[in-house]
Amino acid sequence: MNDKQLAAIHAAKHVQNDMLVGLGTGSTANFFIEELARRQTEENLKITTISSSNISMIKAQSLGLNVIGLQQVNAIDLYIDGADEITPDLNLLKGRGYDLVMEKLLAKAAKQFFVVADKSKLVDCIGTNFAIPIEVMPFAWQAIKKSLEVIGGIGDLRPNVAKDGLSISSYGSLIFDMTFDKSMTEGDLNERLNNIPGVIEHGLFYQLASAVFIAHDGNIEEKWR
Q: Hey, which residues are catalytic here?
A: 103
Which residue has the CB atom at the shortest distance from ligand 5RP? 26
In the bound state with ligand 5RP, the residue whose beta carbon lies nearer, of 107 and 196, is 107
Q: Which part of the chain contacts ligand 5RP (CB under 6 A), choosing from 22-30, 57-65, 136-144, 155-163?
A: 22-30
Inter-residue contact 112 to 212 (CB < 8 Å): no
Residue 126 Cβ, how far from ligand 5RP at the closest point, in Å?
A: 13
Instruction: Say which residues have a Cβ less than 8 Å from residue 173's Cβ, sequence separation at least 6.
Output: 101, 135, 136, 137, 138, 200
Residue 99 Cβ, how far from ligand 5RP at the closest point, in Å?
A: 5
The residue type found at 96 is R
Tell me the longest C-alpha to C-alpha distance in the chain.
54
Interface residue with ligand 5RP, options 5, 28, 91, 169 (CB under 6 A): 28
In the bound state with ligand 5RP, the residue whose beta carbon lies nearer, of 77 and 99, is 99
In the bound state with ligand 5RP, the residue whose beta carbon lies nearer, of 117 and 144, is 117
In the bound state with ligand 5RP, the residue whose beta carbon lies nearer, of 27 and 62, is 27
Is 35 a residue that touches ligand 5RP (CB under 6 A)? no
**Whole-angstrom Cα distance, residue 127 to residue 124?**
9
In the bound state with ligand 5RP, the residue whose beta carbon lies nearer, of 28 and 190, is 28
Q: Nearest Cα to 14, choosing from 113, 90, 104, 119?
A: 113
Inter-residue contact 47 to 65 (CB < 8 Å): yes
**Whole-angstrom Cα distance, residue 77 to residue 109?**
8
Residue 29 Cβ, how far from ligand 5RP at the closest point, in Å?
A: 6
Inter-residue contact 29 to 8 (CB < 8 Å): yes
Interface residue with ligand 5RP, options 5, 23, 26, 148 (CB under 6 A): 26
Strands across the sheet containing 199-202:
154-157, 174-179, 132-136, 199-202
* Footprint on residues 72-111 left by ligand 5RP (CB under 6 A): 81-84, 94-97, 99-100, 103
Residue 44 Cβ, how far from ligand 5RP at the closest point, in Å?
A: 28
Q: Nearest Cα to 107, choosing from 219, 225, 218, 3?
A: 225
Where on the chain is the footprint of ligand 5RP (CB under 6 A)?
24-29, 81-84, 94-97, 99-100, 103
